[in-house]
Amino acid sequence: MIEQVLVQDYNKNLQLISNFVAQNSNFIKKEILINGKINAYVLFIDGLANKSYVEESIIKPLMYKVDEDITKDEDIYEIAKKYLVVSSFRLNNNAKDIGAEILSGKTAVIIDGIKTAMIIDSLNDKYRDIQESTSEKSILGTRESFTENINLNLTIIQRKIKSPSLKIERFVVGEKTRTEAALVYVEDIIDKELLNTIKSRVLTVKAPAMHTTGVFEQFIERRPFNLFPQAKNTERPDKVVFDLLEGKAAIFFAESSSALVVPATFIEFFQGFEDYSERLVIANFSRITRFIAVISVLILGPIYLTLLLYNAELLPYQLMMVIINSRKGIPLPPFLEILAMEIAIEILREGGVRLPNPVGTTLAIVGGIVIGDAATRANLVSHATLFIVAITVVSTFLIPNYQMALCIRFLRFPMLILAQMFGFYGILIGFYILLVALVKLDSFGIPYFSPMAPSRFKDFGDVFVRDQIKKVFNEPVSLKPSLARRNKDE
């Protein structure tokens, strides 16, 4: 067991603290003389802490300004208060804690003869500037997106919600990474019961490392094998603010440029943020188009397959002739034809994601045209199939949330297999299984299909279509489990 409490000898203290900090070349142990006679060490990690700030605000005042003796532990509080040009500092005598603070970008000062160290905030906050989101584009919304700097991200939220009810609870997660995190909510809006549920899961996560919000999401969800996202990942501050004002909570992580919003319901993954900025009718038209697109992704391919394979009698004669002519000489059975095209498109898309942005887009477009044209010319795929697959692919782009888009994209494969095996009945059971799976799911105690099931008629103003904006901006009762319990409505 390594001793952890500091002693009077500053060299011994250096050894104690060094046990908890990796001995890398950028671990700076600057020895200084205070008031020309008192030995001290200034400890920080170069790069993690802002070196020029440490020199200007900590080392310089301690070396040249201090003109009094430091004989007892209480003195250093006065010294720090009087001479350090810093916004915040604290005292600590536990070597392990001091080590952890140094590793998170702070500076420690240990003085000979004193059993307490000064810990000063000196985090280097040189991060990427606020930029426009690349994954969640918006036409009418704001242009800013989160960065990897947690403090800046929280500031953006505070700038948008200037309310004393906005609460930020800091916590650390990841035993090895010791990642700083923050739980944010609006105290007088969020339901107390919901907040307790969120806290009980979020603040008790035990994990060796925490890299991104996506990793954290998997630690706090209840049904890991369910395909649907149970929390919403976003890098847009305006979306987070909207959700906070609805009574949700957001979780931020240091070094992560997105926030995790909880709880999440199924419908909201299809509601674009622009829906609220656009004119009512236009916004609803866009939203309905989006839902049609989702249904197209899921069942257009399977229906086409079923009609070709089992129920050709359901096609009108003229349409049937068009399809027959387009399929003449195609050696592949319809199932393999569709599956091959779908997989080819997925490969192209995955390739496009990994390449630099302009190249990726070019690859997706040119690759799609070239492969589609080559496949039809080689008589491997019919024009009709290509048309159906192209519609489903384009439809996936209408889903505003990336995680949900991935999920819906994946689901078209089992639907296709069910259609191949059982025809129309396969599509029927596939759709029903989806419904049951969605209804069984909940996110932090909030039913995933709310406000549809269980029906919360007050929230129906913003589901498949949205009502007038003044009626939409109410706190949804679906997010108030304690209210439902009080009204015996659950």
Partner 1 sequence: MNKNNTITRNQYFFVIQSAMIGIGIITLASGVTKKAQQSGWIAVILAGIYPILCVLLSYEIYKDLNFVEYTQASEQIYGKFLTKIFTFLFSFNFIFLEAAVVSGLANELTFSTTKFLSPYVLIFITSALIYYNTVDGLKIIARLSELVFYLTIFIFLIPIYFINKGDITNVLPIVSDYGSIIKAIPTTFFAYSGVELSIAIIPMITNKMGTKGVGIAACIFTTTLYTFVTFVTILFIGWKLTSQLKYPFLYLVATTEIPVISNFEPLFIFIWGNKIFQTAACMHFGATYYFSEATKIPYKISCAVTCILAALLGLILVPEHNRGSITDKVMPFLVGYIILWLITAFLISKFKKVKKNAKA
User: Which of 295, 347 has the CB closer to partner 1?
Assistant: 295
To partner 1, the closest distance from the beta carbon of 411 in angstroms equals: 17
Closest to partner 1 by CB, 27 or 431 = 431
Among 379, 385, 384, which residue's Cα sits nearest to residue 331? 379
CB of 320 to partner 1, least distance (A): 9
CB of 427 to partner 1, least distance (A): 7
Amino acid letter at 115?
A: K
Query: To the nearest whole angstrom, how small is the minimum distance from the Cβ of residue 454 to partner 1?
Result: 6
Residues that bind partner 1 (CB under 8 A): 307, 310-311, 313-316, 319, 422-425, 427-429, 431-433, 435-436, 439-440, 447, 449, 452-455, 487-490
Comparison of 230 and 258: residue with beta carbon closer to partner 1? 230
Question: What whole-number distance in Å separates Cα of residue 152 and Cα of residue 386?
Answer: 47
Closer CB to partner 1, 27 or 422, in the complex: 422
Question: How many contiguous H segments (helices) and E segments (strands) does the chain have?
Answer: 18, 12
Instruction: Give the shortest CB-480-to-partner 1 separation in angstroms.
Output: 14
Nearer to partner 1, 28 or 322 (CB): 322
- Name the minimum Å distance from CB 389 to partner 1: 17
Spatial distance between the Cα atoms of 391 and 52, rounded to a whole number of angstroms = 57
Nearer to partner 1, 315 or 391 (CB): 315
- The end-to-end CA distance of the chain, in Å, is 53
Nearer to partner 1, 5 or 312 (CB): 312
We find the least distance from the C-beta atom of residue 432 to partner 1, in angstroms, to be 5
Answer for the pair 231, 260: CB distance below 8 angstroms, yes or no.
yes
CB nearer to partner 1: give 309 or 406.
309
CB of 164 to partner 1, least distance (A): 36
